């Protein structure tokens, strides 16, 4: 299992084009690799990113501001999933900006814009799955602190071709413990702290900290901090032959 403590990364924000970025796992790259890649991206007011695809599976978790992906509205808290080599977009921020986390189990080689000439020559076989979660509501501080039982909620409607794709919310009161959802026959899963904190190896992991659990690893037991915790789980589908090749 790999861990990224957001408090240790927040000060590394840098300007990238019109946006601001914080790398949590990995770094900017134009070469794909099996290493994790995860980052926070803050869109400027009214910023647009044209329709494109990536060569790896990915989740996007929208946490601040609002905007659209294609015809879909996004904002706190909505999760979008797209298969590798599957076009989506454009992404358009509102006048209030738009912030999201991009979560990838492997490092991408960069954007492939659908408007580029000969872009179809870059495509690979893919199931072209798109998924959009239901809106996820976070508890206010006293409600979270008053929680007396662990609740695990599904935020994504199951479909026949999911092959493990899931979005779940784990809600725990102060100091409670619960096993993270099983990775099963999947491509692994990210755990993103969205509210409160969890305790890992004796240290607090606060809001926006990340853990990644590979498919062959036992899911960790989550321990909520003194104010409780709400942790988002994004689980990847079983790896395609293409994803295995990276």
Number of neighbours of residue 91 by Cβ within 10 angstroms: 23
**pLDDT given at position 130:** 92
Q: Which residues contact 120 (CB under 8 A, 6 or more apart)?
A: none
- Identify the CA nearest to 92 among candidates 73, 113, 115, 112: 73
The pTM (predicted TM-score) of the whole model is 0.97
Phi-psi bin for 216: left (phi > 0), alpha (psi -120 to 50), beta?
alpha
| Whether 147 contacts 139, CB under 8 Å | yes
Q: In which residue ranges of the chain is pLDDT below 70?
A: none
CA dist 207 and 220 (Å) reads: 18
pLDDT digits (tens, 9 = 90+) for 75-112: 999 999 999 999 999 999 999 999 999 999 999 999 99
**pLDDT given at position 58:** 98
CA dist 200 and 220 (Å) reads: 10
**pLDDT given at position 120:** 85
| Whether 146 contacts 157, CB under 8 Å | no
- Identify the CA nearest to 27 among candidates 17, 38, 18: 38
> Going from the N-terminus, what domains does the chain have, and what CATH number goes with each?
2-132 (2.60.120.10), 141-235 (2.60.120.10)
């Amino acid at each position: 299992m790999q861990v990224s403590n957001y408090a240790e990364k927040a000060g590394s924000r840098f300007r990238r084009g019109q946006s601001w970025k914080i790398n949590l796992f990995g770094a900017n790259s134009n070469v794909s690799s099996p290493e994790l890649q995860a980052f926070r991206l803050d869109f400027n007011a009214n910023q647009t990113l044209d329709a494109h695809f990536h060569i790896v599976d990915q989740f996007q978790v929208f946490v601040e501001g609002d905007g659209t992906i294609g015809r879909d509205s996004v904002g706190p808290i909505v999760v979008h999933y797209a298969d590798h080599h599957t076009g989506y977009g454009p992404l358009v921020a509102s006048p209030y900006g738009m912030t999201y986390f991009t979560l990838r189990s492997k490092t991408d080689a960069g954007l492939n814009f659908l408007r580029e000439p000969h872009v179809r020559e870059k495509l690979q076989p893919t199931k072209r799955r798109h998924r959009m979660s239901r809106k996820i509501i976070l508890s206010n501080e006293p409600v979270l602190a008053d929680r007396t039982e662990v609740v695990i909620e599904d935020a994504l409607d199951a479909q026949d071709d999911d092959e493990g794709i899931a979005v779940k919310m784990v809600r725990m009161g102060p100091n409670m413990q619960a096993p993270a959802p099983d990775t099963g026959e999947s491509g692994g899963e990210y755990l993103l702290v969205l509210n409160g904190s969890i305790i890992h190896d004796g240290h607090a992991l606060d809001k926006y900290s990340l853990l990644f659990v590979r498919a062959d690893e036992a899911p960790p037991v989550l321990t909520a901090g003194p104010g409780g915790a709400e942790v988002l789980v994004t689980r990847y589908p079983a790896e395609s032959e293409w994803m295995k090749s990276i």
